[in-house]
Structure 1
Amino acid sequence: MADLRILLNDKTIERLPPPDNGRYIVRDTELKGFFLVVGARKKTFTVQGDLREQGKRASTIRVAVGDTTEFSTRAARAIAREYLAQISRGQHPKSEERAVKASTAADVERAEAQTILGVTLREAWARYKVYMARKNRSERTIESYRDHVERIFTEWLDTPLIELGNDPAKVAIKHDAITAENGPYIANGSMRTLRAIYNHARKTNRELPADNPVGSIDWNGEKRRDTGMGLTDLKGWFIELGAIDNPIRREFHLFTLLSACRPAALKEAKPIHLDLRRRVLQVPRPKGGADRAFDIPLSRQMILCLMRAMHFGRQMHPFEAKEWIFPADSADGHLVEQKEDRATLSKWGNDLRQTFRTVATPAGVSELDARMLMNHSIPGVNAGYITRHKLLEDHLRAQQQAISDIILKTVGDAVTKDAGLRDWLGKGATRRSILRAKTEFAKREVIVTSSRHRAA
């Protein structure tokens, strides 16, 4: 069977049939060198790349990442990226493992003893990445940790952790330096990353001091950013939002406000996640990973917002809209950057989550209900006795509706007086906007086609 090329994800992999005989390969269209080997009994994630010496190709190698029972596709792709990066640097991703296999039992014991005594930050980080992948941590989380280790602690990558454990003052001095150079929040965040990696490394390296060296630092004070809006601020914000040209971005910001969904998770919302019969939007991989998956109950206004976004998407980005609710002309096919110029839109992202929590109080929504709507953990021993999905389709949806009602009520007469809002939320506005989107898409296609002809 000839090699296939598709975008690998859990759903497409599940549909792949077993081979009639032997095995076949399915290559990923997103990450070059990453593919799936489909056999009769298992499907194995694999990478392939060229090992180079002095700039010349020495050999081509294939390295198994793991089978589909061990990793999700997202986790396997994150590991594959790291393996391919190592191969590009001339390093075999499993060089240590190969050396151990080639040695005698006595050599193995000596190698393990040496590794235990000399485990470096780089080695501990490599192991911690595998741990996070197995725990289905999101790529965003893994990337954040990678940034801390490979950018903030780059000069420590080959430093044995025992050196840091025996000299906690070095860690405290580093924290002060990061605070001065990068700011207090990054300094604290990078130290949390180092603390987690050290604690994980100590599970298999008991020679490391029990006291985590990060415990020596004086943590910077952190204040919750108080950037939410009150009811009196919302009318002006809606007028700003109505002036944004891109209707998909406009609906994205509105839905962020109405749902309090984290932007990173909302960008990856798909039509298959939308259940109109139950009136919920599934969030399969929120902050915290798949274990924190939840459903957002939808108010009437939220459903209209999603319908408009998908209508606009089908006109502006017809191919990408088949997979994403908020499609865009990007490599991922969906909206990637939600930030706006503050002069254009004063509040976006986490500002809108804070606004949701703020207006929930005048809407008559209790703190407990607001926390459940925002998928926050519930403090106290009684939290374990609350079954969220039993409240979802009646009580929580009613609370969601109350919040949406009070938010949209603030627009008032501006929906008829302001041109931008009238064209967006006024009577017949969606139909007119879709016609404009069709026209803009047709113009863009003419420009793209003519440029292709000129290039040919």
Structure 2
Amino acid sequence: MAELRFQINDKAIERLPPPENGRYIVRDTELKGFFLVVGARKKTFTIQGDLRGEGKRAATVRVAIGDTSEMSTRAARAVAKEYLAQISRGQHPKGERRISKATTAAALPTPEAPQIAGITLRAAWERYKISMLRKNRSERTVESYRDHVERIFAGWLDMPLIELGKDPAKVAAKHDAITEENGPYIANGSMRTLRAVYNHARKTNRELPADNPVGSIDWNGEKRRNTGMGLADLKGWFLELAVIDNPIRREFHLFTLLSACRPAALREAKVSHIDLRRRVLHVPKPKGGADRAFDIPLSRQMISCLIRAIRFGRLMHPLEAREWIFPADSADGHLAEQKESRKTLSKWGNDLRQTFRTIASPAGISELDARMLMNHSVPGVNAGYITRHKLLEDHLRAQQQAVSSTIFNALGELITKEKKLIAWLGLGATRRCIQHAERDFAKREVLGTASQAILQHAMARRR
């Protein structure tokens, strides 16, 4: 079959037929030197370019990038651009002075030719990102790594990793600079990302030093933020939460406390994720990706919270509420940010997860049950023998109910005497609130129409 030429993309690759015999080549019309080798059993992304020395062509280099079943066209194109750029500088992409079958009989570059640079941080990151996607890492995790590489290490993207491997002092100095500019936690986090990318790159680039350069840094001390509340603090927090204007945000914070769910996952909770028959809320993509999907058992108070959120959502954001439990006027259609002013609400986000774990002890919840309710990994050799969903329907739901009851019991008589709480959590409060909002909305429409008529009359008199 003759060579084909078109812009290579994933859909076009799927439609390519196998060769009748041998193999054939599909050249990309967008990036010169980037092509696809189609064989009977696999299709391989490949690049080809001319190594030059002293202004003359020394050799033609052909390098396979990867199988189409293992990487996307977008990722392969990014690696191809990097490899072709290295070849244009007289450097072999694989860090080896060898010539493929496509090479001419010309001699290799002389010893005085530019030294081989090897894989750059940019190319190593692209390959590591593919690895993360294969392991079903969550979008938030991939985005966090991307931010570290492309923002924190932006000036190093085109630097060969071998330079960092041979000069670990440069990495230590960078860690000090990030600590000064961005803080100790971001400095440590970005270095963990760099360490992971370097280790992954070394699997296929053995010229990199075995000692990871990140090992040269002095890690910043990190302390767990102990910001959870005890039972005595709950009354004040509920009073703060009761006066928040947006009822959807109010229910979001309450459900975070009752479930200990991570806010990032809870923001993306859908109405379809609720199973009232089984009394669970499914979390398909928690921290750690889809492989750690789990169900949250629902207490009576949690079900009431979700119902209030859905009813308010249908009133305030009727279109978005068809899909999301906590809808909002945002690009995604759901709450995009859970942060509140500390003057308005003293505890939110991870503070409430810590509060749940703190209150689990006086509620009589064991360490193992608390870990499973919070979707934490269970330590020990026996962890693999625990079947979580078998405990979910009965035991874990009872434990969840015990935590919710302990939280609401801590409010004491406040929940029946404080007007703010009665207006929020009292019997029929949601229905009255919605009816009041609908009356206000209708009144504004009438007033708006009347004001418009008065304004038109006044303008007519001026004429």
**TM-score in terms of structure 2 length:** 0.74
**Per-residue Cα deviation, 1:404-428 (whole angstroms, up to 9, x for no partner):** 0000112222223333211100121
- Conserved in 1, the CA contact under 8 Å of 2:299 and 2:404? yes
- Conserved in 2, the CA contact under 8 Å of 1:234 and 1:411? yes
Structure 1 distance, partners of 2:162, 2:445, is 60
**Per-residue Cα deviation, 1:380-422 (whole angstroms, up to 9, x for no partner):** 1111111111111111100000000000112222223333211
Tell me if 1:105 matches 2:86.
no
Give SS of 1:148's match. helix
Give 4+ residue runs of structure 1 displaced > 4 Å after superposition: 34-42, 68-71, 91-94, 96-100, 114-117, 439-449
- Conserved in 1, the CA contact under 8 Å of 2:129 and 2:142? yes
Offset at 1:272? 1.0
Structure 2 distance, partners of 1:443, 1:305, is 29
Q: How does 1:241-390 map to 2 (within 5 A)?
A: 241-390=241-390
Give SS of 1:105's match. coil
Indicate the residue corresponding to 1:182 in structure 2: 182
Offset at 1:377? 0.5
Structure 2 distance, partners of 1:130, 1:115, is 29
Q: Name the amino acid aligned to 2:185.
A: Y
Offset at 1:41? 11
Q: Name the amino acid aligned to 2:333.
A: G
Give SS of 1:281's match. strand
Structure 1 distance, partners of 2:441, 2:11, is 36
Q: Name the amino acid aligned to 1:260.
A: A
Structure 2 distance, partners of 1:266, 1:433, is 24
- Conserved in 2, the CA contact under 8 Å of 1:284 and 1:290? yes
Tell me if 1:229 matches 2:229.
yes
Indicate the residue corresponding to 1:145 in structure 2: 145
- Conserved in 2, the CA contact under 8 Å of 1:116 and 1:207? no
Offset at 1:303? 0.6
**TM-score in terms of structure 1 length:** 0.75
Indicate the residue corresponding to 1:7 in structure 2: none
**Per-residue Cα deviation, 1:14-48 (whole angstroms, up to 9, x for no partner):** xxxxxxxxxxxxxxxxxxxx997898999xxxxxx
Tell me if 1:132 matches 2:128.
no
How many residue pairs were aligned?
378
**Per-residue Cα deviation, 1:155-204 (whole angstroms, up to 9, x for no partner):** 11111100101111111111111112211101100000000100111111
Indicate the residue corresponding to 1:405 in structure 2: 405
- Conserved in 1, the CA contact under 8 Å of 2:79 and 2:126? no
131 and 437 in structure 1: CA distance in 2 versus 1, 3 angstrom threshold: farther
Structure with greater Cα Rg: 2
**Per-residue Cα deviation, 1:20-79 (whole angstroms, up to 9, x for no partner):** xxxxxxxxxxxxxx997898999xxxxxxx989xxxxxxxxxx9xx9x9979xxxx8xx9
Q: Name the amino acid aligned to 2:302.
A: M
Indicate the residue corresponding to 2:198 in structure 1: 198
Structure 1 distance, partners of 2:160, 2:444, is 56
Q: Name the amino acid aligned to 2:364.
A: G
319 and 444 in structure 1: CA distance in 2 versus 1, 3 angstrom threshold: farther
Q: Name the amino acid aligned to 1:249.
A: R
**Per-residue Cα deviation, 1:186-240 (whole angstroms, up to 9, x for no partner):** 1100000000100111111111111111111111111000000000000100000
Give SS of 1:176's match. helix
Offset at 1:442? 6.1
- Conserved in 2, the CA contact under 8 Å of 1:326 and 1:334? yes
Give SS of 1:371's match. helix
107 and 144 in structure 1: CA distance in 2 versus 1, 3 angstrom threshold: farther
Indicate the residue corresponding to 2:170 in structure 1: 170
92 and 390 in structure 1: CA distance in 2 versus 1, 3 angstrom threshold: closer
Q: Name the amino acid aligned to 1:302.
A: M
Offset at 1:439? 4.7
- Conserved in 1, the CA contact under 8 Å of 2:78 and 2:126? no
Offset at 1:255? 0.4
Indicate the residue corresponding to 2:55 in structure 1: none
444 and 326 in structure 1: CA distance in 2 versus 1, 3 angstrom threshold: farther
Give SS of 1:403's match. helix
Give SS of 1:215's match. helix
Indicate the residue corresponding to 1:29 in structure 2: none
410 and 130 in structure 1: CA distance in 2 versus 1, 3 angstrom threshold: same
446 and 223 in structure 1: CA distance in 2 versus 1, 3 angstrom threshold: farther
Indicate the residue corresponding to 2:395 in structure 1: 395
Q: Name the amino acid aligned to 2:287.
A: K
Structure 1 distance, partners of 2:284, 2:301, is 22
Structure 1 residues not aligned, in runs of 5+: 1-33, 43-49, 53-62, 84-90, 450-456
404 and 335 in structure 1: CA distance in 2 versus 1, 3 angstrom threshold: same
Give SS of 1:357's match. helix
Structure 1 distance, partners of 2:161, 2:343, is 47
149 and 315 in structure 1: CA distance in 2 versus 1, 3 angstrom threshold: same
Q: Which moved more, 1:368-377 or 1:178-187?
A: 178-187
38 and 157 in structure 1: CA distance in 2 versus 1, 3 angstrom threshold: closer
**Per-residue Cα deviation, 1:108-159 (whole angstroms, up to 9, x for no partner):** 9x9xxx9985211111111112222222222211111111111111111111
Q: Percent identity?
A: 73
382 and 364 in structure 1: CA distance in 2 versus 1, 3 angstrom threshold: same
- Conserved in 2, the CA contact under 8 Å of 1:316 and 1:437? no
Structure 2 distance, partners of 1:191, 1:206, is 21
130 and 378 in structure 1: CA distance in 2 versus 1, 3 angstrom threshold: same
- Conserved in 1, the CA contact under 8 Å of 2:82 and 2:123? no
Offset at 1:448? 12
Structure 1 distance, partners of 2:198, 2:168, is 12
Q: Which moved more, 1:238-247 or 1:430-439?
A: 430-439
Indicate the residue corresponding to 1:423 in structure 2: 423
**Per-residue Cα deviation, 1:265-297 (whole angstroms, up to 9, x for no partner):** 000000111111111100000000001100000
- Conserved in 2, the CA contact under 8 Å of 1:416 and 1:426? yes
Structure 1 distance, partners of 2:400, 2:361, is 12
Give SS of 2:296's match. strand
Structure 1 distance, partners of 2:275, 2:446, is 36
Structure 2 distance, partners of 1:98, 1:438, is 64
